[in-house]
Amino acid sequence: MNATIYHNPRCGTSRNTLAILRHAGIEPTIIEYLKTPPDRATLLRLLVDAGRTPREGARQKEKLFEELGLRDPSVSDEAMLDAMLANPILIERPFVVTEKGTRLCRPSEVVLEIIPPLPGPFTKEDGEIVHG
């Protein structure tokens, strides 16, 4: 199975998602989106395919989200996309794309919806065991 992960190696959820993919025998294409941000069309496709709005695909825990006034519900989808493209740290992670679909894998176990069953239990960084 082919897979692509939009990855931030500093993020535990992203690392766990990548590790689950590898545990399933999948070596994905890894896009470190902070180094190689998606263009507008790609970001919009990821959001739409994952069933997310731009607001739902934004990393609201980032200090910059607040600083830019993005918490205001009147901020349009277009303005949210503009902010995410100008500041890729605001893109929530990790997005994973396979032939079975696209998901924003928060928590990391969401990736199980779009990959074959795991060959056995997987242990996340925090010790939590994932079955799938």
**Which tens digit of pLDDT belongs to each residue from 67-98?**
999 999 999 999 999 999 999 999 999 999 99
27 and 54, same domain (yes or no): no
123 and 83, same domain (yes or no): no
> What average pLDDT does range 20-44 have in this prediction?
97
pLDDT of residue 115: 98
Question: Band of the pLDDT at 130, cuts 50, 70, 90?
Answer: very high
SS3 annotation, 74-89: CCCHHHHHHHHHHCHH
85 and 97, same domain (yes or no): no
**Number of domains present in the structure of the chain:** 2
> What average pLDDT does range 3-22 have in this prediction?
97
1 and 42, same domain (yes or no): no
8 and 25, same domain (yes or no): yes
Question: Band of the pLDDT at 126, cuts 50, 70, 90?
Answer: very high
Say if residue 35's pLDDT is above 90.
yes
- Full residue range of the structural domain in which residue 24 is found: 1-33+93-132
67 and 57, same domain (yes or no): yes
100 and 87, same domain (yes or no): no
97 and 87, same domain (yes or no): no
What is the side-by-side strand order in the sheet with 29-32? 29-32, 3-7, 95-98, 101-104
SS3 (DSSP) at 95: strand
Alpha carbon distance 125, 1 (integer Å) = 24
Residue 12: partners with Cβ closer than 8 Å, 6 or more residues away? 125, 126
Question: Band of the pLDDT at 3, cuts 50, 70, 90?
Answer: very high
11 and 28, same domain (yes or no): yes
Say if residue 48's pLDDT is above 90.
yes
Residues with a catalytic annotation lie at 11
Alpha carbon distance 63, 90 (integer Å) = 9
Say if residue 132's pLDDT is above 90.
no
User: What CATH number corresponds to the domain at position 109?
Assistant: 3.40.30.10
